[in-house]
A and B are shown apart, each in its own frame.
Chain A
Amino acid sequence: MNEQANPVSVVLELDEGLVSRFARLFSKGVDITARTGCSLKSFICEQLGVHEDYLAQRIQTIFLNGKAVDDDQTATVTDGATMALSAAMPGLAGAVFRRGGYYAALRRSVTYSDQGSAAYPLDGKVTVKLFNLTVTELGPVLLKGGIRLAGRDLEEQLAEFADDFRKGVRNITFGGASIDFDTLLAKLKTAGEVELRIRPAAS
């Protein structure tokens, strides 16, 4: 793994409704540390904690390293992989990229096929991208477990919706120390990689 060995811990206690404000981060992709070398289905359900029914019904499109996956049990997640999850999408493009869909043949040049390379269980890093409805539905799950990202990326996202975050953030810790929102923004500019965790605020 290439990332910082001990990224600074950032913990935000905030209203869950604000998770959608991280949509762009999830679109770009966030890094998580997890056990790799397993099937895509196993990774999503066991490592990310996504319910099997949700995977089967809600997640209609999956990309592994930029290629559309049709069979989540034969595709293997390895260290350094990039995975993207999407709910149902409109139009022909939506149908084409749907998992195992009738129109999957129309994109066969970008369909994932198992290269047969050996995969071993290994603690590794996986970049996870969430698109559309999965942002609000799975985003809180990932944020609770912790995501790794560049401090500047987090700063940029928090700054864009600064007014909302100021209102919605109840408590902030940076490297274990309690700080205010503006101090956090300043520290993130030079923080390198951080590990972000979100805790829902008590209502």
Chain B
Amino acid sequence: MDKVLRINMGADGGPEVKTEPLGDYAGMGGRGLTSTLVAREVPPLCHPLGEDNKLVIAPGLLSGTTAAMSGRISVGCKSPLTGGIKEANAGGQGSQVLARLGYAAIVLEGKPTDGSLYKIFINKDGVQVSSDNSLKMLGNYDLVEKMKQAHGDKITCISIGPAGEMKMAAASVAFTDMELRPTRHAGRGGVGAVMGAKGVKVIVLDDTGMSIRPPKDPDKFKEANQKWVAGLRKHPVTGEGLPTYGTNVLTNVINEAGGYPTKNFMWGRFDNCAKISGEAQAEIENQRGGKGSATHGCHRGCIIRCSGTYYNKDGQYLTKQPEYETIWAHGGNCGIDDLDAIAMLDRLDDDFGLDTIEMGATIGVAMEAGVAAFGDAEAATNLVKEVGKGTPLGRILGNGAEVTGKVFGVERIPTVKGQAMPAYDPRGVQGIGVTYATSTMGADHTAGYAVATNILGVGGTVDPLTPEGQVELSRNLQIATAAVDATGMCLFIAFAVLDQPDTFQALIDMINAFYGLNLNADDVAELGKKILSVERDFNQRAGFTAKHDRLPAFFQKEQLPPHNVTFQVKDEDLDQVFNW
């Protein structure tokens, strides 16, 4: 993983392939690499869909190794949804395979002028870029089938669906999973639209003949990895809760707390939430059975196995087990309490190449506008199909909640920096609201997800019960998350790392043994700060100011039932998040 693959899609005479050494980007991975490269090479004021933007796809520092949980991949660019820097993160096989092929990043540059659609094939022998207009407007599932026919079933695909081709701001980049299904998506921020603007439909990876990346110190690496795995397995969340119920285990708890955004953030509790909870989902999956039904990993090397496979009533594969945020977005947020209908919406999103959070939030806004009734699953399904077809209504919806709200005159638009909020109402969980408001990415729950800050040693001395304390907690969470995103590690490691200092040390030991380094916790915190500083600087140069680090006004004005709370963190406190 010592080279960068650059493909200029706008070169005279057709796409131009160049392989470069890492150079100044040496030692970077995942979000650290995507954000640094975008900040350095992309003009902040460029049009996100123009030739000057770049799409960067980068495995994490430990991807392609035997390190457990190291299969996350980062996709970065200037976002067409937010107008700022973007890193969208996905599971699937892409990270491990790309790393084993030796690439620290693929960078798509320029823009084709002839309207052709391209396929990129990468294996141990090199890179082939070919025009293939027969792929136009294929859904991700049909596309992957076609790639299997052409290249066999040992491949991994990185692709866009029709939404990406139509350059919709809610378009995702899909990564195939272990079963070669396009179920894992870098969803947020419209990264799929940027790939579409580059004219690239699919990148096919084949790592046949390539080996696992060797560590500098194999013995120490093996020892650290064993401790790492043992730590994850013994923890009640990573060892029991997640494998049994998946991420949807959160539904009942967030709902009970009154922080479950319901019907476009009008209420904090959804009456029928028990019907779409992780517990209900697990029972359905266990009853229907099928391979990998209730417990399944999203990539090779995953030992938490929080995913699953959703089969329909007839026992046929429908989609992967939808995540908590997806079930919230298409479920409670739209008043829908039918898991089969929600799973179908997830399938459609994956096939068209759409961010499930953005689409669910968008349909919630459209429902408030009266485009469909809350609770009408069939109408919601038809709206997503409109997006897939690219009808005028579909084009509006496919550009996200903010555009849709403006078009239909809705005041309650749950976005920050143009990106829709996920499944936690910031009035109920105010600290998460701080992260929504100030994240460099727009409203993003994962931006402050890595709950490891006390162990990282970046926790402060401010009383956490004060607004300043909430700001400090959010800051530290964002720092820790940025660092984890650079490693290629799944964010679900965070709980075990929080509780078990020896597990956190094992992670640092793995990085040190692999690269021959001597990092400590402070160095990891510095890495996180550096990434955030780079992203923040890009956004400032793109025109972002303090006023963009705010929640929509309705969160301060409208009380959220049942606890009737408003968001109370002051603007001047929000402005302190990045003062370190």
Residues of chain A whose beta carbon lies under 8 Å from any beta carbon of chain B:
20-21, 23-24, 26-28, 58, 60-61, 63, 66-68, 84, 86-97, 102-110, 129, 131-133, 135, 161, 164
CA distance A59 to B498 in the complex (A): 18
Residue of B nearest to A63 (CB): B256
A84 touches B256 (CB 8 A): yes
CA distance A21 to B465 in the complex (A): 40
A110 touches B241 (CB 8 A): no
Residue of A nearest to B306 (CB): A90
**Least Cβ–Cβ distance between B288 and chain A, in angstroms:** 11
CA distance A96 to B431 in the complex (A): 9
Residue of B nearest to A61 (CB): B253
Residues of A within 8 A of B449 (CB): 91-92
B432 touches A90 (CB 8 A): no
The one of A20, A92, A129 that contacts B283, using a Cβ cutoff of 8 Å: A20
Query: Interface on chain B toward A: helix, strand, loop, or mixed SS?
Result: helix
CA distance A58 to B240 in the complex (A): 12
Q: B250 at interface (Cβ–Cβ under 8 A)? A: yes
Q: Which of A67, A86, A102, A105 has the most CB of B within 10 A?
A: A105
**Least Cβ–Cβ distance between A160 and chain B, in angstroms:** 8
Interface size on B, residues (CB 8 A): 60
Residues of B within 8 A of A109 (CB): 427-428, 430, 563, 565, 568
Residue of B nearest to A93 (CB): B250
Q: B373 at interface (Cβ–Cβ under 8 A)? A: no
CA distance A23 to B258 in the complex (A): 20
Residues of B within 8 A of A97 (CB): 253, 257
Return the CB mask of B232-254 against A: 1 if under 8 Å, else 0. Answer: 00011110111011010110111
**Least Cβ–Cβ distance between B458 and chain A, in angstroms:** 13
**Least Cβ–Cβ distance between A42 and chain B, in angstroms:** 22
Q: Which of B237, B306, B465, B492 has the most CB of A within 10 A?
A: B237
Query: Interface on chain A toward B: helix, strand, loop, or mixed SS?
Result: helix
CA distance A104 to B451 in the complex (A): 12
**Least Cβ–Cβ distance between A144 and chain B, in angstroms:** 20
Residues of B within 8 A of A60 (CB): 236
B237 touches A106 (CB 8 A): no
Q: Which of A20, A90, A106, A132 has the most CB of B within 10 A?
A: A90
B241 touches A105 (CB 8 A): no
The one of A88, A91, A110 that contacts B428, using a Cβ cutoff of 8 Å: A110
B464 touches A105 (CB 8 A): yes
Residue of B nearest to A129 (CB): B256
Residues of A within 8 A of B238 (CB): 90
Residues of A within 8 A of B432 (CB): 92-93, 96, 106
Given A88-B237, A91-B250, A110-B428, do A24 and B473 touch, yes or no (CB 8 Å)? no
B431 touches A105 (CB 8 A): yes
A27 touches B252 (CB 8 A): yes
B279 touches A131 (CB 8 A): yes
Q: Sorted from nearest, which 9 A-B pairs have the closest CB atoms?
A: A106-B431, A105-B464, A27-B274, A23-B279, A88-B236, A95-B451, A109-B565, A131-B252, A28-B274
